[in-house]
Chain A
Amino acid sequence: MKMASVENGIVTAIALLVLSLAGIDAARAQRVLIKIDGSSTVFPITEAVAEEFQKNHKGIKVTVGISGTGGGFKKFCNGETDISDASRPIKPSEVELCGKNKIEYVELPVAYDGLAVMVNPKNTWATHMTVKELKKLWEPEAQGKVTRWSQIRPGWPDKEIHLFGAGVDSGTYDYFTEAIVGKEHSSRGDFTASEDDNVLVQGIATDPLALGFFGVAYYEHNKDKLTLVAVDDEKPENGKGPTLPTYENVVSGAYQPLSRPIFIYVSRKAADRPEVKEFVRFYLTAGRPLVREVGYVALADKVYDLALARFDKRAVGSVFGGKGSQVGVTLESLLKAEAK
């Protein structure tokens, strides 16, 4: 009966493990846990802040998910998370959902991000493009019609154009369409869309006729495989001529309209919990140098201070009026909006 005892041993061990897990559950009904979900663009910053925060605050546990800006807001407005990462301001439908469930939120800008337009290094012609040209290429009417480079600018080769872009659930896609097409979440559908930016990097790097857009952080780590396209918004007040999404151009606001602030949304109710309050304060103070470290542009200290003041006042609502993506939010105008 040696076998039976081995068998019993295994069964007992598993039962003990499950019971002990359940037992700990009962004992720790009050877990000190901060739940965060949302944009994959904001994820690296929140992850870095959470990592440092947990080093300094033993006992507080932070979890971060990547459901995308829209998916994150759905959970947030259902009361399932404490903080939502967002790469665009909250949209009317989300405002409505939050309102229905009586979830109030404090909106806090955490960084600035540039969207880069990129082509394959073998592409020698498209060194710069105007916003108008990009619109002609990306608007819904272009579907199936604008398919060759020569259709965008006379003199460019009469070859097919292959488009790559962020997935349609992402805040990045929402912002790009608002900035280029003029209407949020509206573009042609015949492009290769992926939530995974590395897929887009690979696509553009291997296809000489490709053009695509995604966060500038991905360009910085793939400089040898991609070529940036300078973008000209033809508005002299944002600097003359085409500009590249360099650190300086994103900071100065010259790289418009494809620079945008990114946010965290904190639930008003969760903000009263000491650990959440501590985490948000940590994010907006000690988190500042981490923003640059993970590849984003940090806001001016003044903006962080104002955001912190907003948080301490629990100023609920969005400074963007709950209308979703907005174009032309420079660091300066953000400062003014936050100061209100």
Chain B
Amino acid sequence: MTRRFDTQRWVGIEGLVLIAAAAGVFTREPSLFLLAGLGVVLLGYVRIAAVPEVSLDVARTLSDSTPAPDDDIEVTLRVTNDGSRTLFDLRIIDCVPPGLAVSDGPARLGTALRPGATATVTYTVTAIRGEHTWDETTIIVRDPSGAVECREMEHTETTMRCEPELAATADLPLRGLTSKYAGRVETNVPGSGLEFASIREYRHGDPIRRIDWNRRARTGTLATVQFREERAASVVLVVDTRTEAHVAPDADDETAVERCVDAASIAVPALLDSGDSVGVAAFGPEECWLAPSSGSAHRARARRLFATHPAFAPTPPEKAFFPSVAMRRLRRRLSSDAQVIFCTPLADDYAVSVARRLEAYDHAVTIVSPDPTTTRTAGSRLARLERELRLRELRRSGLRVVDWGDEPFAVALSRAESGWMR
């Protein structure tokens, strides 16, 4: 793809030459003819100028193609002139993938290149979660006089995959809805366990260990101690990835979606460690579903999903979104004993209605909500108030809410926990 065009830089030189010549005639002053002569030379230089056939070899290398989040990655772009002519005016602009921020050195260079010579652009980007692909490099070539410009796009694909370690830094307490498997969520079902629940009359077949021998000694009758049974839960983490959730306090800050994914990637290993089966879903235009399961392979799958799935990309989706279709699909996929942890900034009322509907369908819902609001302007203060009203409404309908401000997730969690009823 090459475009050549006139930069219109030297437009009007002809006029100036003729004016100088005319003034020379008028005043019979030979110096002015010299001026006109110099103008003609310049005009000739501009007219014969042409951009040679541009043939460049572009290569890009990353200092690490699978970095950890927040690592500084050095990107080196080498541009070699493969043509037979010198490029006098070469401007190189490397297109950095959206979502990545250049932290040091511009990704641009202006230089002149002899045949076979190589120019190098080096800059540093800060890695963030996700799969990032460099592709285009814009090349602008001008002839020495700058009269003709030629633009080209060189395509060189380079991919960086940044997968955060899933580390359980906070324990997320679950609600009472459980599956039939043993685990760590205490239920009200009497049976074997740790916490005392009740005593009932001995029935044939009860284990000897659970017979209340004190009572036997006191009254002579047999009784069985019952404990609260501990079972595993099946949990689905639903991340709000709609355009409405791509909000941040400041243009440079992490968006709420990023923080939701952070919270989810803390919760997944914590839940897996405690023996619960965990699934992941995205509530947004880009579809993503990982059915609840457990095990180390599942953990690796979840890690890969959070890092590279387009649904969790740091930039807002471009597809159209049909909320009722997405809702129906999500409901169909959730098994009846599945709890839901809904990660959303609660930036609009629809998120509230999603949470309430899931709760109404008996999926015990816990909401993890990173706070994207500020108090800087009147508008943002209004947004904060609206969000607080939404939180209050959800709490009143019996949902558990973790309101996550600037503090670490574990701090927000323990503060929220103290307000919950067991």
Task: Indicate, yes or no, whether A interacts with B.
Answer: no
